[in-house]
Chains A and B, each alone.
Chain A
Amino acid sequence: MGKELIKLMNVYVSFRIGGLFTKVLVNVLRNINLTIYDGETLGLVGESGCGKTTLGKVIAGLIKPTSGKILYKGKDISAMTKDEFLTFRREVQYLHQDPFSSLNPVQTVYTILSRPLIKHKIVDPSNVEEEVMELLRMVGLTPPSDFMYRYPHQLSGGQRQRVALARIMSVRPKVLIADEPVSMIDVSQRIGILRLLLDLRKETNMTIIYITHDLATLRYISREGRVAVMYLGGMVELTDVERLLTRPLHPYTQILLSALLEPDPNITRNKKVNLRSMDIPSIVNLPPGCKFHTRCPYAINGICDVKEPDLVEVETNHYVACHLVKGDLK
């Protein structure tokens, strides 16, 4: 693994939601501790509402944590000078889920891509056009002259996502946070985008944080990467992708894996989901103790519903937050 690049220490995020009189404080992220290493691929996995997108935005500096610290290259981002913070924001880029709303509809592809080049003085002004063409080639929109003067509405979803990615690559990021980048794209174009991410990762050695509910696409991007499983704002398991798939330890991870559909009837039909309660508790009204105990088939009364387990290393590079796993694993 590379050097420590980003470090999250005891990060909490709470939002106020509701109306004037019904305002409540919701803890969207609870006590997140995570180190991201230079050049690695880290997946953030969980169901909607688990906090994976919020965590991605916190890492990108788009949401300020309510408490806790984020270090980028050893520096607390809340204590950075303006210049340092701008560098951090330039080096850590966020690829949005929806390419239909992330591109300005009245700008041509050329304008969209040349703006950051000029603003951040990435290339000499006389070379901007050449660089835009190079970026388009890099994301597979060839020949570039066919795409340069088009507007977003003249592009398919997959092509738009490529433009969004080219815009990000224009500022030479060190970290790319990709939030479900293929979920809104047609099936036949998804592979192309995934393959592009894979190629860019190999060419530039950038760090990728991949947010998804789909472990299969994460595995495609990086089999050597790590993955963090989240549930209701907390991290329940953190380990390597292949280990998580073959040896999941947290009961929630086990259920998530048995719920994933596979393109093979004999395999997928033999996987059954067994939960105490099928509905996820509301984040506004979190259960006490382990947040998963209301649905966990193995929950022990008096322990799991009382104390929330910490994320502990139960074997090398395998962290699990579960009372049951912690005790009897050698």
Chain B
Amino acid sequence: MSNSELILSIRNLTVKYRSRRGYVNALRNINLDIYRNEALGIVGESGSGKTTLALAIIRQLPNNARIVSGSITFYDDGNKVDLLTMNYDEFRRYLWEKIAFVPQGAMNSLNPVLKIKDHFTETVKAHNPDASKEEIVRKAREVLKVTLLDPDRVLNSYPHQLSGGMKQRVMISLALILNPAIIIMDEPTSSLDVVSQKIILQNLKDIMRMFNVTIIVITHDIGVVAEVANRVVVMYAGKIMEVGDVESIFYNALHPYTQGLLKAVPKLRGEAELYSIPGEPPDLVNPPSGCSFHPRCPFAMDICTINEPSLKEVNRGHLVACFKYETR
């Protein structure tokens, strides 16, 4: 993506969680550039660190987490700011106005005693106390229509009067109301029906175009990534294993983990046989030496058990952390 403009740049980000058994290495030395108006898919299994990465960006890590090192630079119309070091009160303005977050199971984060209309009013007033009610409702109708909801019905409903799919779409609308530059969505459709899931994902592309917004979708579901992402990040055991555009990842995956992940998904057509990645995900309190995937990797060499490969560009825009590609 050489012709694209940077919006977020993550450098050497390392995050640990304190636990009874010791420190959990949730993120290890993450380096990632995110570009304006792209749809970035971050895929990984539970424990891969994908949600921790999102929470680090919005500074909502739980109390037992510690950012050991790293920076997250946000490019805001020519200005560069480090999200991690700025004063928290100042950061709160960035949250939702610049970077909105739709958490997993977002539909349960609506306040059950507030009408949908009041959710919009509260959100806008928190950032812009002078906004008029009429103005807020007008804008709310606009963002609800974008997510294919009927504003007349939804605005005057309480959350329990809406289905799960509708609530999820309300949350996406709420994320749009302040015109953020980035929306991060954690498993946006995992609790939804297949039909609602498809419609919401189909719709995300229109939303990106209309609102000029960058979308980061975090998911364990390869299908979701195939549907929405332009570019894909594959995470495993707190590290980025591979980054590339969606075609490179799906049709020319380089990392043995990515290859295994793609072969492990049941398909609707063609060969029904499946491959399963041997072994279990690693213990992040005591990650394996060298490459954290080596105990499960069919191609592991001696060096993989000793040294940790770093993310290197193999083809243009296609990066992989694997010694298989380093000897060339």
Interface residues of A (CB under 8 A from B): 47-48, 156, 186-192, 194-195, 213-217, 219-220, 223, 245, 255-265, 268-269, 271-273, 275, 278-280
Contacts and interface: CB of A to CB of B under 8 A. Distances in A.
Contact of A187 (B193, B220, B247): B220
Interface of B: 45-46, 148, 163, 165-166, 193-199, 201-202, 220-224, 226-227, 246-247, 250, 261-262, 264-269, 272, 274-277, 280-281
23 contacts: A186-B45, A186-B46, A188-B45, A188-B280, A190-B264, A191-B276, A213-B193, A216-B265, A216-B267, A219-B272, A260-B194, A261-B226, A262-B223, A263-B222, A263-B262, A264-B226, A268-B226, A273-B198, A278-B148, A278-B195, A278-B199, A279-B166, A280-B163
B266 A219 contact: yes
Contacts of B280: 156, 188-189
Given A188-B45, A188-B281, A256 B194 contact: yes
Nearest to A189: B280
B202 A273 contact: yes
A265 B226 contact: yes
B196 to A, nearest CB: 7
B165 A268 contact: no
Contacts of B269: 245, 262
B266 A261 contact: no
A279 B274 contact: no
A191 B221 CA distance: 14
Given A48-B193, A261-B226, A263-B226, A192 B276 contact: yes
Given A187-B45, A217-B266, A261 B196 contact: no
B198 A258 contact: yes
B166 A265 contact: no
Contacts of B267: 216, 219, 262-263
Contacts of B148: 278
Given A187-B45, A213-B194, A272-B202, A262 B165 contact: no
Nearest to A282: B163
A279 B166 CA distance: 8
Contacts of A219: 266-268, 272
B194 A195 contact: no
Nearest to A272: B202
Contacts of A261: 194, 197-198, 201, 221, 223-224, 226-227
8 tightest A-B CB contacts, nearest first: A261-B223, A259-B198, A216-B266, A191-B276, A47-B193, A220-B266, A263-B222, A263-B265
A21 to B, nearest CB: 18
B155 to A, nearest CB: 16
Contacts of B201: 261
A187 B194 CA distance: 17
Contacts of A279: 163, 165-166
Contacts of B226: 261-265, 268-269
Nearest to B166: A279
Given A47-B193, A220-B274, A273-B199, A265 B250 contact: yes
A269 B201 CA distance: 10
Contacts of A156: 280
A322 to B, nearest CB: 17
Contacts of A278: 148, 165, 195-196, 199
B227 A268 contact: yes
A42 B280 CA distance: 31
A33 B201 CA distance: 36
Contacts of B261: 187
A213 B198 CA distance: 13
A63 to B, nearest CB: 22
B166 A263 contact: no
Given A265-B246, A278-B199, A259 B223 contact: no
B274 A191 contact: yes
A287 B210 CA distance: 35
A271 B227 CA distance: 10
Contacts of A216: 265-268
Contact of B195 (A191, A262, A273): A273
B165 to A, nearest CB: 7
B194 A259 contact: yes
B38 to A, nearest CB: 15
A268 B247 CA distance: 13
A280 B193 CA distance: 10
A186 B266 CA distance: 14
A297 B261 CA distance: 36
A188 B163 contact: no
A251 to B, nearest CB: 12
A256 B195 contact: yes
Nearest to B221: A261
Contacts of A189: 280
Given A219-B266, A273-B202, 5 more contacts: A187-B261, A188-B280, A219-B268, A261-B198, A280-B193
B1 to A, nearest CB: 17
A259 B166 contact: no
Nearest to A216: B266
